[in-house]
Amino acid sequence: MRTAANRVRTDYGVRTCLIRAVIYRGKQMGDIEHMPSEEKVRVLASALEQIADAVIITDRQGVIGYVNESFESLTGYSRKEVIGKKPNMLKSGRHGTEFYKELWGNVHAGKPFRAVFVNRKKDGKLYYESKTITPVKSRGHEVTHIVATGRDITERVQMERRLRKQAYTDSLTGLGNRSSFWEAVQRVLDCPRTSNAAAVLYVDLDGFKAVNDTFGHAWGDKLLIAVGERLASLVRRHDVVARLGGDEFAILAMGSDAGDYVEGLAERLLEALEAPFDVAGVDTYLSASVGVAVIPEGVLEPESVVRRADIAMYRAKRSKATYCVYEEGMQRAVADAFNLKNDIRHALDEQQLYLVYQPQVAATTGEIRGVEALLRWEHPKIGDIPPSKFIPVLEELGLIHKVGRWVLKEAAAQLRAWQDEGIDVPRVAVNVSPVQLERAAFTEELLETLAGADVAPSSVEIELVETTLLADIDAMGDRLFEISERGVSIALDDFGTGFSALNHLHRFPVNVVKIDRTFVAGLGSAREDARIIEAIVRVAGDLGVETIGEGVETQLQLDRLVELGCKYIHGYLVAYPAKAEGIAGQIGDDRGVWKTVLESEGRGVMQLRVGTER
C-alpha cells in the first residue's frame, strides 16, 4: 500500500509544490526549512493528510494531482475519482462567469483568490466552503501549480441565515419587519431610477385597540395574522409587504408604473379590509387609514420616505377608512403641529392664555341673560391662535384639565368682581371639554372653584357640544345629573347638528340649547333652516328649556328668530367678544340692558333696534 509520502514522492513537481505552498502559507512545523528533503516531504505529507481543511493541488491547467482525506470526507469523492480531472465536478451553478473570470485572472497573475464557494457534493447536496486558491510559482516566477484549501462553513451560513431571518421577519405574521422594510426601501434608493418608479403605502388599522381590549391579545394576534395574509394577497410578486409593529403595516410598490398603481392599490386595500375577518368563527370588522408617498428623486434616506407616507396616513386618520397621498406642505403642517404642542405647554405659565366675554341678551328687550367666557391664546410669535386649533392639542396632551380649571377659576372670579362693582351680569357660561367631564373629580373641583370665588352655582352655566353625550351616554348622564343637582345650569352648544338631537332634551338635565349658527345663517334664504329652528324652539319650550340663537350677525336673522319664538341671542350683531373691562361700558345706564352693538376694532357703533328697554 502506498503511503502519503510515497504518493507525493512520485511527482517531484507536486512534492516541491507542497513544500513551497506550506511554507508560503506560513504553516511551519518547527524549523522545517532546515530539515533534510526526505524528512520535509514526510512531515508535510502527513500534515496535509491530517489537516481539517480540504486541500486540492492541481497543475497550471487545473488538472487535479492531489487531494487530502478532508476533501474526500467533505465532498464524498474518493481520490481515485478526482485525480486527473478538473474541480468543475464540484460546480453548483450558483456562480456566474464573472466569478470564475476573476478567479482565473488572479491565479494566472500569481495572486491568491479568496471567496465563499457554493459547491455540490457527490450526492448532490450543496455546501458552503470558505476557500483560498493560491498559485505556486517556479524560480522563474511562472505559475506551475495551484493549491486550494477550503473549510466547510455550511452550518455557519445556515445559522447566519436563520438569525437573519429572525432579525428581518415579523415573528407573528411571517411578513418582513421594520428592519427588512427599511433595507428594501434603501435598495430602491440606491438604484438608478426614474420618477414615480416606487412608492410606499403606510397602513394603520382603525379601532384595533378596541378589539384587543374587548377580546384579548390572543384574538388580536389572530386578526393581525389574517390582515397580513390579506395584504400580501393584494400586491404583485415583486412588491414588499411588512408589519412595522403593532397594528401598522407597510407596502413597497416597485416598478415604472408605481405612481399610478398605488392609488388603485390603496382603494383595493381599503375595500379588502372592510370585508369581515373570521376569527375563531366570529366575524370581526375593521377599517384602515392609508398614507401613500411616491418616492421622489433625490431622497437618500428610507426614514424620509416612510415618514412622508406616515404623515399622509395621519391626515387620512382624520376621516378614517380612507387614503391620502402625500403632498409637499404636509411636512410643514406636521412641524407646525409639533411646535404648537411644545409651545402650548408654556402658554398658561407665561400668561399667554386669556379670556374674552360675549354677552347673551333677550331677543326682544336686550336684557342681559349672561356672558359666555371664551378662551384665547396670544402666541408671542404667531399672534392669536383660534381655539379650534389649540383645544384639541390640550386634550391630546392631557393639559385640558389644568387649563379647564384655570378657565373656571378666572371666569368665576370675574363674575364676582362684576357683581361687587354693581354690574348686573347674572351668569357666566363656560365651555367644558368632554375630556374634562370624564374626570371623576370634575363635579367636586367645579364646586370648590365656585365656593373659592364666592359665586353661587346657579350663576354658572357649563356648555357642552352635543356630540359629547354620544361618547358614553350612561356615564355622561350620571355626571350631568350630579352637576345639575348642585344647581349648575347645563347648556348644549351647536344644537341640531348631532345625532338624535331632540332626544337629548328628554334624556338629560338640559336647561339651555344654543341653536347652531349654520341654521341661523340660513334664515331668510333657506326654508329648511327656519323649519328646523321652529321645531327646536317648540320642543324646547314644551320641556321648559331656554333657546339661544348663535352667531346672529344681521337684523334679518334677529327678526326671524323673534318670529320663530327664540328667546335669547348672541353674536356679532350684539357684540364682538371683548376682555372683561370692555363689558361694563356696554351695559345701559339702567343696568342689565345691553345698549350698543360694536363693530370689530371700534369702527363704529350701531344701535340695536330693540333699544334699551327692560
Which band of pLDDT confidence, cut at 50, 70 and 90, is reported for residue 497? low
The answer to whether residue 129 scores a pLDDT higher than 80 is: yes
Q: Measured between alpha carbons, how far is residue 166 from residues 187, 533, 614 in Å? A: 20, 64, 81
Report DSSP letters for 533-601, one per residue. Answer: HHHHHHHHHHTT-EEEE-S--SHHHHHHHHHHT--EE-STTT---B-HHHHHTTB-TTSSBB--EEPGG
Find out whether 260 and 290 touch, Cβ atoms under 8 Å.
no
Average pLDDT over every residue of 96-112: 92
Q: Identity (one letter) of the amino acid at 463?
A: E
Question: pLDDT value at position 212?
Answer: 85
Backbone phi, psi, residue 512, to 5°: -140, 140
Question: pLDDT value at position 592?
Answer: 55
User: Any idea which residue has 359666555 for its cell?
Assistant: 372
Q: Alpha-carbon dihedral of residues 272, 276, 278, 282, nearest 10 degrees?
A: 170
In eight-state DSSP terms, residue 193 is -
Rounded distance between C-alpha atoms, residue 308 and residue 301, angstroms: 11
Question: pLDDT value at position 405?
Answer: 94
The three three-digit cell numbers of residue 43, written as one number: 512531515
The answer to whether residue 473 scores a pLDDT higher than 70 is: no
Name the more confident of 2 and 524.
Answer: 524
3-class DSSP assignment, residue 376 = strand
Average pLDDT over every residue of 61-77: 93
Percent over 90 (pLDDT), the chain:
52
Question: pLDDT value at position 439?
Answer: 86
pLDDT digits (tens, 9 = 90+) for 389-405: 899 888 888 899 999 99
Picking from 63, 72, 53, the residue whose alpha carbon sits closest to that of residue 130 is 53
Question: pLDDT value at position 185?
Answer: 92
Which band of pLDDT confidence, cut at 50, 70 and 90, is reported for residue 38? low
Facing residues of 385 across strands?
Answer: 377
pLDDT digits (tens, 9 = 90+) for 240-297: 999 999 999 999 998 767 777 888 999 999 999 999 998 888 888 899 999 999 988 7
Lowest mean pLDDT among 15-19, 51-55, 139-143, 265-269: 15-19
Rounded distance between C-alpha atoms, residue 421 and residue 491, angstroms: 27
Which band of pLDDT confidence, cut at 50, 70 and 90, is reported for residue 162? confident
Name the more confident of 411 and 295.
Answer: 411
Which band of pLDDT confidence, cut at 50, 70 and 90, is reported for residue 12? very low
Using alpha carbons only, give the angle 429, 430, 436 rounded to the nearest 5 degrees.
Answer: 145
Find out whether 225 and 237 touch, Cβ atoms under 8 Å.
no
The answer to whether residue 494 scores a pLDDT higher than 60 is: yes
Average pLDDT over every residue of 467-494: 82
Facing residues of 135 across strands?
Answer: 146
Facing residues of 294 across strands?
Answer: 199
Question: pLDDT value at position 600?
Answer: 34
Domains belonging to the chain, first-starting first, are 4-158 (3.30.450.20), 169-327 (3.30.70.270), 339-606 (3.20.20.450)
The answer to whether residue 416 scores a pLDDT higher than 50 is: yes
Rounded distance between C-alpha atoms, residue 388 and residue 393, angstroms: 9
User: Any idea which residue has 372592510 for its cell?
Assistant: 274
> Which class for 318: exposed (0-12), middle (13-18), buried (19 or more C-beta within 10 A)?
exposed
In eight-state DSSP terms, residue 246 is T
The three three-digit cell numbers of residue 338, written as one number: 409639533
Phi-psi region of 350 (alpha: psi -120 to 50; beta: other; left: phi over 0): alpha
pLDDT digits (tens, 9 = 90+) for 188-239: 888 876 555 789 999 999 989 888 888 888 989 999 999 999 999 999 999 9
Q: How many CB atoms lie within 10 A of CB 358?
A: 18
Beta strand 383-385 with 368-379: parallel, antiparallel or unpaired? antiparallel
The answer to whether residue 29 scores a pLDDT higher than 50 is: no
The answer to whether residue 451 scores a pLDDT higher than 90 is: yes
Rounded distance between C-alpha atoms, residue 269 and residue 457, angstroms: 54
Question: pLDDT value at position 431?
Answer: 94
Q: How many CB atoms lie within 10 A of CB 6?
A: 12
Question: pLDDT value at position 117?
Answer: 96
3-class DSSP assignment, residue 427 = coil
Question: pLDDT value at position 141?
Answer: 85
Using alpha carbons only, give the angle 110, 116, 118 rounded to the nearest 5 degrees.
Answer: 120
